[in-house]
Amino acid sequence: MRAARFAEMTLAAGAMAEAKALQSKSPFSEKSFYLEEFHGKSLLFALIPPAGRKLSELSALVKTLRELKRNQTRCVVVAGSAAIPAVLRRTARLKPHLASHTFVPTRRIARRPYPPDSALGELWLELSENALVVISVESDEPVDFLRFVGALAGRLRVFKVVLLDRAGGLREAGDARVSFLEMRRIGRTLRARNSAVQRRLLNAIKRMLDREVSSVNLTTPNGVYEELFSYLGTGTLFTRVPYGTACPISIDEFDQAQALIERGQREGALLERSREEVARLLPSCVGYRLGEEQLAGICSLLTEPYQRQRAGEITALYTLTRFQREGVASELVKEVLKEARARRLSYVFACTSEAHAARLFERLGFRRVSPHDVAPPKWYGYDRARRARLLVFRHDL
């Protein structure tokens, strides 16, 4: 037994070393970004009835579970009784002879605590051995199902709940997806919804966040892999507290910031710069951190070329796709303005050719000016054709 356990530990260590080696070759791949966040954590996946009854709906979930198992992430899958046969059939390769634990929420959910300690102890023992547990809820009524999922998530205090619903994430009036929503904004969103189904769902999500679950994702079963492992996502991410903070980056984060700048350049959002030019931007970079480590956005304050004018340029402003239009860029610029005041600058300026960036600067009190109204060194050797396309904004301090 000990020899078998040692072999398992050796294989696990080898898998992690291989994963780290792959990440070092591609230090800012989307999947590695999230796998690092999920490593050693517990995630709860809930197939809201009638989701999960069709085998075709479970392919993306199985692919996700396989990835997380290699990552040493513990996974709890909850489904209604009608979906359990399909779930067990599709997950059989991940864990042979997988059985489901059955709960009857309509009879016992009023008891405290629920689920009981004995049941949670059994779940933990199984998770510690196999990293995957399947739970059957003896109700296919979405309201009862969500009440149970909320109670279970709150008792386990899982890192994340992933709700899989055929309707997917939230949509705005114009059918644009709501990709990100903080808990403090859920109440306002609730009041704006006419659908009773959506109101029940939002209330359930709010209760989960109230129970110390740090985040909830809402997406379709087929979209779960992209939702968890891509910057764009496919659904809506709900968080209990603001998802990140803006503050100056450390030298240990320069690699991440450089990777973000290069990504922005490939997308055409940022001006092409050499490695040496990027290096001059990094020491004065502000980053929007997710948790304690990962960067979702950056912005730099360039001052050395403009010392005689006591001016600073806001440059390299870029956020990952999922966090665009979610206030991240605004927080970054505000933090840069604080730094500019601390350096006793007379003014800062920014140049952009993008309409949404122009609207951002206007909202933050910048005024549109002529290129002649900002520090002349900005234009030394600058391409005239590009300069003609730019919108220039200035903020006096």
**Same domain (yes/no): 235, 249:** no
**Residue 200 within a domain:** yes
Residues forming a β-bridge with 349: 313, 394
Positions of the chain with pLDDT lower than 70, given as ranges: 1-29, 105-111, 174, 194, 242-243, 290-293, 321-323, 325-326
**Same domain (yes/no): 231, 251:** no
**Same domain (yes/no): 52, 200:** yes
Other CB atoms within 10 Å distance of the CB of residue 188: 9
Question: Is the distance from CB of 232 to CB of 180 less than 8 angstroms?
Answer: no
pLDDT of residue 252: 86
pLDDT of residue 67: 96
**Residue 35 within a domain:** no
- The residue to which tokens 């114009």 are assigned: 174
97 CB-side CA count, 13 A: 2
**Same domain (yes/no): 233, 251:** no
**Same domain (yes/no): 277, 223:** no
**Same domain (yes/no): 252, 227:** no
**Residue 54 within a domain:** yes
244-248/180-182 β-pairing: unpaired
- Buried b / exposed e across 313-346, counting CB within 10 Å, b at 16+? bbbbbbbbebbbebbbbbbbbebbbebbeeeebe
Residues 205 and 199: their CA atoms lie apart, in Å, by 10
> What single DSSP character describes residue 49?
T
Show contacts of 86-92: CB within 8 Å, 24+ apart: 86/52, 86/53, 86/54, 86/55, 86/57, 86/58, 87/47, 87/52, 87/58, 87/134, 88/134, 89/55, 90/55, 90/58, 90/59, 90/61, 90/62, 91/58, 91/62, 91/65, 91/132, 91/134
Residue 368 token pair: 């549109």
**Residue 10 within a domain:** no
**Residue 332 within a domain:** yes
CATH code at 111? 3.40.1160.10
Last residue of a domain, one of 211, 239, 267: 239
SS3 of 323-391: HCCCCHHHHHHHHHHHHHHHCCCCEEEEEECCHHHHHHHHHCCCEEECHHHCCHHHHCCCCHHHHHHCE
Amino acid found at 133: V
**Tens digit of each residue's pLDDT (9 = 90 or more) over 145-186:** 999 999 999 999 999 999 999 999 988 776 778 887 877 778
**Same domain (yes/no): 220, 345:** no
Residues 82 and 69: their CA atoms lie apart, in Å, by 25
**Same domain (yes/no): 292, 341:** yes
State the residue range of the domain holding 298.
Answer: 244-396
**Same domain (yes/no): 138, 254:** no
Residues forming a β-bridge with 347: 311, 396
Question: Is the distance from CB of 148 to CB of 119 less than 8 angstroms?
Answer: no
**Same domain (yes/no): 114, 250:** no
**Tens digit of each residue's pLDDT (9 = 90 or more) over 37-83:** 899 999 999 999 999 999 999 999 999 999 999 999 999 999 999 99
**Residue 2 within a domain:** no
CATH code at 309? 3.40.630.30
Q: What does each C-alpha distance from 34 to 213, 261, 327, 371 come to in angstroms?
A: 17, 19, 21, 41
Residues 21 and 24: their CA atoms lie apart, in Å, by 5
pLDDT of residue 279: 94
Which residues touch 77 (CB under 8 Å, ≥6 apart)? Answer: 44, 45, 46, 47, 61, 65, 87, 91, 132, 133, 134, 135
Number of structural domains (the chain) is 2
**Same domain (yes/no): 139, 166:** yes
Residues 286 and 265: their CA atoms lie apart, in Å, by 18
**Same domain (yes/no): 315, 206:** no
pTM above 0.75, yes or no: no
3-state helix, strand, coil in the chain (%, to 5): 50, 20, 30
